[in-house]
Amino acid sequence: MKFTRSTFYRLLAAAALTASGAAMAAGNHAGGHGHGDGEETAIGKPGVAAKASRTITIEMSDTMRFTPSNIQVKQGETVRFIVKNAGKVKHELTLGTEKELLEHLEQMRKFPDMEHDEPGKVTLQPGKQGEIVWQFTKAGGVNFACLIPGHYEAGMKGLIQVSKK
């Protein structure tokens, strides 16, 4: 396990919550979303690159938009997303339910320099690119957004529509 800044913040937050006697119903930042180690979540699970049936490139820009922002996939499909930051500021792409994204947004407001090391998230400096490989196991909508403070509020979000098999 890498000891990243987000791990430090998780430990710090856990210690603060424990000291205050507050319950940690959602777990730590990564554990609360359950996107690690290939386990199934409400939006699917991390995919295996060799099993990706197609690649979709998503561009992030300083107009606070994703291109494309609406994507169609099939239930069971594994997709490799190439995510490119075409802007001059840092952006991220995070997959999740709307509820998860809003919870994460609150954490990002408290810790704006939080770094991610989770399969359904990628944070990119200007001019850089990364990837997410995801298997969409359930039909319905999967949201994605940039949760850097101010970006989501400016409209930097999108939807992946997962059609039934």
Render pLDDT for 115-135 as a digit per residue (tens, 0 to 9): 777 899 999 999 999 999 999
Render pLDDT for 55-113 as a digit per residue (tens, 0 to 9): 999 999 999 999 999 999 999 999 999 999 999 999 999 999 999 999 999 998 888 77
Q: How many CB atoms lie within 10 A of CB 133?
A: 18
Q: How many CB atoms lie within 10 A of CB 123?
A: 22
Distance CA 10, CA 6 (A): 6
- Which three-class secondary structure state does DSSP give residue 133? strand
Q: Which residues contact 50 (CB under 8 A, 6 or more apart)?
A: none
Among residues 12, 43, 44, the alpha carbon closest in space to that of 29 is found at 12
Residue 58 zone, left/alpha/beta (φ > 0; ψ -120 to 50; rest): beta
Distance CA 115, CA 105 (A): 13
The number of residues making up the chain comes to: 165
User: Residue 20 — φ and ψ, nearest 5°?
Assistant: -85, -10
pLDDT for 37 equals 55
- In this model, does residue 20 exceed pLDDT 70? no
Which residues are registered as beta bridge partners of 84?
A: 59, 129
- In this model, does residue 30 exceed pLDDT 90? no
* Alpha helical stretches, state H, the chain: 5-20, 29-33, 98-110
On whether the pTM is more than 0.85, the answer is: no
Please state, in angstroms and as integers, the Cα–Cα distance from residue 92 to each residue in 51, 72, 141, following that order.
24, 20, 19
**Cis-peptide into 68, omega within 30 deg:** yes
Q: Which of 47 and 9 is assigned the larger pLDDT?
A: 47
